[in-house]
Amino acid sequence: MRTTSAVGQTGGVGDAESAAEGRRTPQIRDVAAVAGVSHQTVSRVLNNSPKVRPATRQLVMEAMERLQYRPNRAARALGLGRANGITVVTSNTMLYGYASVLQGVEEAARVQGLTVGVRVVESESTEEVRATVEYLSDPSTGRVVVVAFDPAGAGVLRALPGGVPVVAATEAGGLAGVERPMIFLDEREAAADATRHLLGLGHVTVHHVAIPSEAPASARQSGWRDALLEAGAAVPEVVSAGWDARSAHEAGRRLAADPTVTAILCGNDDTALAVRRALYEAGRDVPGDVSIVGFDDVPGAAYWTPALTTVRMDFVALGRACVAALTGEAPPLDAPRLVVRESTASVTKP
């Protein structure tokens, strides 16, 4: 790729074009020569500067088209001091919430002509966090979106040096003690709605299987608790599960063993799947014997058997909002909403 620049050697427009049509990939100076302007004017056109006469802009655009010019992102990043792109830091790319945020970021970034990078932090270990922060400390990294739904993401957010332009997608309420722009879906009220929905069906109380959370009590959990207290219902002990199906299944088994359990609010849909399985194995029907509610509304939830009652979380919009916050003004997000389907029913027992 080491080549010689034609600048200063071209005698005129004709020469410039023939040189540009050679093997070398054209650069702004070639475009400038063909259009009969300076390289700086070409740069201005590339950056949509308003200080270019329409006629000149047209000339430059035609030259770019003729030469099949493609801007070099690396050179731009170097000159600019930082890349014109967004790096998404996440602890996972496959789980529904995380993947959806990534999807939203990509959509929004692509529309604005920004590149998208992905960096996974596998755990909250000091070493992992340090390596990730080091990676992001390169000033040419550009803007960053940290998906801080869990300790790994939160750890990166806390350790990030001040100079890095960042927005975090967090759990509802944000992260305590972090002075960074944070955006989140507030499902607290929806969790309360779900709990009230179950109580309204005649359940004496509602149990909760919690998924990992950075805060001591997630919004899902506090919405649930408040609705129970408000209704004067007993607040059962929270059962905790991890992200994996196995631990959710184990949590489900514990609840299935207790005959007084008739309603369960699960931390997410994946958890609900495993809990439902555990209930099935214990011979308890859903929703005949036990009602369950999930969180997220994964694409297949409506096609479960029975179809899952859950809270719809628009993580894609969350991702888009993060990009908006990084490049301008973040729009307000719609609040998550309970979607009632078939996995919840009235208590049938005497």
Partner DNA sequence: AGCCGCGATGTGACCGGTCACATCGACTCC
Partner DNA sequence: GGAGTCGATGTGACCGGTCACATCGCGGCT
Distance CA 48, CA 182 (A): 30
Cα 333 vs. chain centroid, distance in angstroms? 13
The amino acid present at 63, given as its one-letter code, is A
Q: Interaction with a second copy in 285-314: which residues (CB under 8 A)?
A: 299-300, 302-305, 307
The option from a second copy, DNA, none interacting with 277 (CB < 5 to 8 A, set by class) reads a second copy
Least Å distance, CB 85 to DNA, is 14
Count CB atoms within 10 A of the CB of residue 114.
19
Q: Contact 286/280 with Cβ under 8 angstroms?
A: yes
Binding DNA (rule: CB under 7 A), the pick from 18, 68, 72, 348 is: 72
Q: Please report whether residue 5 would count as binding DNA according to CB under 7 A.
A: yes
Which tokens go with 13?
């427009």
Binding DNA (rule: CB under 7 A), the pick from 19, 33, 52, 129 is: 52
∠ at Cα 162 (156, 163), nearest 5°?
A: 110
Which tokens go with 2?
């080491």
Distance CA 207, CA 213 (A): 17
Least Å distance, CB 35 to DNA, is 8
Distance CA 178, CA 171 (A): 13
Nearest of 207, 201, 234, 230 to residue 220 by alpha carbon: 207
Least Å distance, CB 290 to a second copy, is 13
Nearer to DNA among residue 60 and residue 251 (C-beta):
60
Instruction: Please report, as ranges, the residues that interact with DNA according to CB under 7 A.
Output: 1-5, 24-25, 27-29, 32, 36-41, 43-44, 46-47, 50-53, 55-56, 69-72, 75-76, 78-81, 139
Instruction: Please report, as ranges, the residues that interact with a second copy according to CB under 8 A.
Output: 1-2, 25, 70-75, 77-78, 80-83, 85, 92-94, 96, 99-100, 102-103, 106-107, 110, 115-120, 134, 137-141, 244-245, 248-249, 270, 273-274, 276-277, 280, 299-300, 302-305, 307
